[in-house]
Structure 1
Amino acid sequence: MPLDTAPRTLAGQASPLGHDATTTTNPNKALWEKGDFTRLAATMRDSGEELIAGLDVRADMDVLDLGCGDGTTALPSARRGANVLGVDIASNLVAAGNFRARAANLANLHFEEGDASRLDALADDSFDLVVSIFGAMFAPRPFDTAKEMVRVTRPGGRIVMGNWIPGDPTLIARVLKICAAYTPPPPEDFVSPVTWGQEETVRERFGAAGIADDRIQCERATYVFRYAGTPDAFLGIFRDYYGPTMNAFEAAERSGRRAELQAELEQLFLSENRGGADRTEIAATYLKVIVSK
């Protein structure tokens, strides 16, 4: 599906790509519209470029970047000439992505608001490549999300996911685990996003969407956060702009444990930093999933 068709198709819907799922009452939407994830995304650009460079994205490809944020992997794909549609549930990130696309003069890149588990406005077999790096893993209804990714991918196309791994000793998995200890328990029907970091679970979800097991490849890979400042200043970005961490600090404030949470995270960021005293460089392990349709 050419990109010049995709935005008009999406814009023609009464509510793009999600209907009631993208209203302000959706807790997932509220989470990612909280703060300003672009501040954290700025530290992820180099690894996004490196990841896309390894996927052989070409000018003749139609690419869907799902849970795209403000374009950390969408812009590198578009710079390689692909027709790219970025979809994210957060309206502020969609606006930021479209701003970045215009600033870069990338007419082959467009961002739309939508829910990864309900891509109603996208036709079957529309994309050669579906990319979701730390994005679709946070969507509700993971089996629906897998089914939708498979549905919109063309025969012979690929789905590439990056998912944080539960229990992993590196940064993000530990941040999410620490924050969970300071926040109220989730609803009974809550499915943790990091279950997407379990290979057997990934295979189960894509298997239910009709993908044979031998068409699913999983491997551990490394994503590096790079920030021109101290680990404590980098932690400040998480505390002040990253939805899950913001929620944890608010809950810790109410329970009188804010200083405890701050100290625990400070120790984590300091111990994981490999960039030196005045620069932060922290590697995080994730599960890279490649599905061939």
Structure 2
Amino acid sequence: MTDDYINFKQTAKDSFEAGDYAPMAARLAGAAEELVAACGAGPGLHVLDVGAGTGNAAVAAARAGARATAADLTPAMVRAGRERTRAEGLPVDWDEADIEDLPYAEGTFDRVLAVFTANFAPRPRTAAAEMLRVLRPGGVLGLANWTPTGFAAAMSRALADLGPAPEACDDFSSPFLWGDEKELTALLGAAVEPVRLERRQLVWHFPSAGALWEELERDGGPAAARESMPEQEYARIREAALAVVAGHAETAGDGIAVTNEYLLAVVRRTA
């Protein structure tokens, strides 16, 4: 592993340690619930929520009667997720684990779910191979990922200077290619057969563009970078982000609505 790779992993951990992920987790919960339903996670099935954050997919799977395990790279997410599921009385097992090096035996799970997390992996082919390795033959992999042309991708470009990008590898030029049907199918390879590939939307409501930015500031990247970045540079990035919001938002009542497109992908491991 190169120093750049190690630094990227540590920066990812630090950004989530610094931020308050709860508001964003709430905004993503609907997509996790849809994915759990689309994958048929329920009684008698062992489900892994990888890159779980605070456990949206694991919570939905446990509520559906499945045996749920949640794994996340960041200790803060594991602590918060464990507290959440304990408070809700849900029997979810929690592990600190990297999507590129999962600590489970081959074929452990009947369902493997990743909700807006696979795109954080700097080695996409490794991440895909690991998710399929721990999935039993005939099991289902469910993914939700932002599309390359949506709001999240545009915002990511605006925020690119807030921290180091992962080194280029695997010939996968953009993390948002996880949200492209053709690219995702090629990435997962011949070991799977598509069950469902469908573009969906999450609509987020905010009082204003400024309120959206304030939530982003609390949610990791901006929170971690603000302390070390020159004020003028940080202001430039903020203005670029607000311009992205202006290009995607619509007036909704007394506030704004931002539509965020994602790809819901359900595939079956065939070998």
TM-score, normalized by length of structure 2? 0.83
Deviation at 1:188, TM superposition (A): 4.8
- Pairing 1:48–2:32 present: yes
**Cα gap change, 1:28/1:92 in structure 2, threshold over 3 Å: closer, same or farther?**
same
- Pairing 1:114–2:97 present: yes
**Equivalent residue number for residue 161 of structure 1:** 143
Among candidates 71, 74, 92, match of residue 55 of structure 2 = 71
**Equivalent residue number for residue 208 of structure 2:** 230
Unaligned runs of 5+ in 2: none
2:16/2:219 contact within 8 Å kept: no
1:132/1:162 contact within 8 Å kept: yes
My pick for the range that moved more, 136-145 or 28-37, is 28-37
Among candidates 150, 153, 174, match of residue 173 of structure 1 = 153
Paired residues, number: 262
**Equivalent residue number for residue 10 of structure 2:** 26
Q: C-alpha separation between the residues in 1 aligned to 2:6 and 2:85?
A: 23
- Aligned ranges 1:268-283 → 2 under 5 Å: 268-274=244-250, 276-283=252-259
1:249/1:261 contact within 8 Å kept: no
Q: C-alpha separation between the residues in 2 aligned to 1:22 and 1:137?
A: 17
**Equivalent residue number for residue 112 of structure 2:** 130
Deviation at 1:27, TM superposition (A): 3.2
Question: Which residue identity lines up with residue 112 of structure 2 in the other structure?
Answer: V
My pick for the range that moved more, 194-203 or 71-80, is 194-203
Q: C-alpha separation between the residues in 1 aligned to 2:80 and 2:156?
A: 25
Q: Write out per-residue CA displacement over residues 12-38 of structure 1, whole angstroms, 9 at most, x where no aligned residue.
A: xxxxxxxxx999973332333331222
Deviation at 1:136, TM superposition (A): 2.1
Deviation at 1:187, TM superposition (A): 6.2
Q: C-alpha separation between the residues in 2 aligned to 1:126 and 1:188?
A: 30
Among candidates 110, 121, 126, match of residue 144 of structure 1 = 126
Deviation at 1:102, TM superposition (A): 0.7
What CA RMSD, in Å, does the superposition of the two structures yield over aligned residues? 3.0
Q: C-alpha separation between the residues in 1 aligned to 2:168 and 2:8?
A: 20
Question: Which residue identity lines up with residue 283 of structure 1 in the other structure?
Answer: T
Identity rate of aligned residues, in percent? 29
Query: Which one has a larger percent strand, Structure 1 or Structure 2?
Result: 2
Q: C-alpha separation between the residues in 2 aligned to 1:27 and 1:65?
A: 22
**Cα gap change, 1:64/1:23 in structure 2, threshold over 3 Å: closer, same or farther?**
farther
Q: Write out per-residue CA displacement over residues 223-281 of structure 1, whole angstroms, 9 at most, x where no aligned residue.
A: 425456434212211023232x4466567x52723333323322433453457244554
Q: Write out per-residue CA displacement over residues 141-179 of structure 1, whole angstroms, 9 at most, x where no aligned residue.
A: 22111111111111211101112222x1x3211110111
- Pairing 1:216–2:194 present: yes
1:219/1:288 contact within 8 Å kept: yes
**Cα gap change, 1:285/1:250 in structure 2, threshold over 3 Å: closer, same or farther?**
farther
**Cα gap change, 1:218/1:260 in structure 2, threshold over 3 Å: closer, same or farther?**
farther
1:230/1:277 contact within 8 Å kept: no
Unaligned runs of 5+ in 1: 1-20
Deviation at 1:83, TM superposition (A): 0.5
Among candidates 177, 183, 198, match of residue 180 of structure 2 = 198
TM-score, normalized by length of structure 1? 0.77
Deviation at 1:81, TM superposition (A): 0.7
**Cα gap change, 1:204/1:34 in structure 2, threshold over 3 Å: closer, same or farther?**
farther
**Cα gap change, 1:36/1:148 in structure 2, threshold over 3 Å: closer, same or farther?**
same
Q: C-alpha separation between the residues in 1 aligned to 2:31 and 2:263?
A: 15
Q: C-alpha separation between the residues in 2 aligned to 1:246 and 1:160?
A: 30
Q: Write out per-residue CA displacement over residues 167-218 of structure 1, whole angstroms, 9 at most, x where no aligned residue.
A: x1x32111101112x44774654664223233343233322xx515xx1356
Deviation at 1:41, TM superposition (A): 1.1
Question: Which residue identity lines up with residue 230 of structure 2 in the other structure?
Answer: R
Q: Write out per-residue CA displacement over residues 79-128 of structure 1, whole angstroms, 9 at most, x where no aligned residue.
A: 01101101110111111111111111112x12211000101x31111111
Q: C-alpha separation between the residues in 2 aligned to 1:285 and 1:25?
A: 26
